[in-house]
Amino acid sequence: MSSAQALDIATTIGFALLGAAMLMAVIRIIRGPTLADRILGLDALSVLGVGIIGVFAVRTGLYLYVDVAVSLALVAFLSTAAFARYLLSRGHQ
Amino acid sequence: MSYIAAVLLVIGALFSALAALGILRFPDVYTRLHAAAKAGPLGAGLILLAVAFASNDWAIAIRAVVGLVFLIVTAPVSAHLLARAALKIGSPLASSTSIDEYENNR
């Protein structure tokens, strides 16, 4: 098995696993039951997005996508922090 | 290098899938945070490490490692913020919880 072939198989497996993981996170966002669960699901979805962009960078060979992944991680952290502050200020649901 | 990258990529995707499975299956928001805040960033970080190995370019490898460090540093912070907010607004614990040290001072 050549190295390009190995990367091809690995990225296919990675896409399948990450797609299934994103589906599970979306089910959690839809089902709730509390707002904290939905925020957690959104945070997980962004982190999975970082992973998918990484797999995409390896698959296509366009390594500039690493910058996109890093900035998505930054935005994911900021959005989770903002949502947590919102949850605190909103008080009891 | 490509073989290392392929192995890391599959392991990282596996960790991400297991984290999502934990988010789906655990009984309350605190245990779900436990899955999402540890296994999730580890999976994404391993994939970024795989990108670093596959690229064969120092500039890209360093950027990927910086992204990994950023993920590892911020994940506990955001998880702590979210757990604190959920506790303050009184998110219910699972019925199987045996010790609740915050019972008296929420």
Q: Which of A71, A75, A31, A58 is nearest to B13 (CA)?
A: A58
CA distance B2 to A53: 18
Give how many domains chain A has, as a whole number: 1
Interfacial A residues in 34-93 facing B (CB < 8 Å): 34, 36-37, 39-41, 43-44, 47-48, 50-51, 54-55, 57-58, 63, 66-67, 69-70, 73-74, 76-77, 80-81, 83-85, 87-88, 90-93
Percent of chain B residues past pLDDT 90, beyond the cut = 58
Residue pair B75/A81 in contact (Cβ under 8 Å)? The answer is no
The verdict on a CB contact (< 8 Å) between B89 and A91 is: yes
Over the stretch B4-50, which tens digit does the pLDDT of each residue have?
999 999 999 999 999 999 999 998 888 999 988 999 999 999 999 99
Identify the domain containing residue A41 by its residue range: 3-90
For the entire predicted model, the pTM comes to 0.90
pLDDT of residue B42: 93
CB B6 within 8 A of CB A7: yes
d(CA B83, CA B85): 5
Cβ contacts of A56 within 8 Å, gap of 6 or more: A62, A65
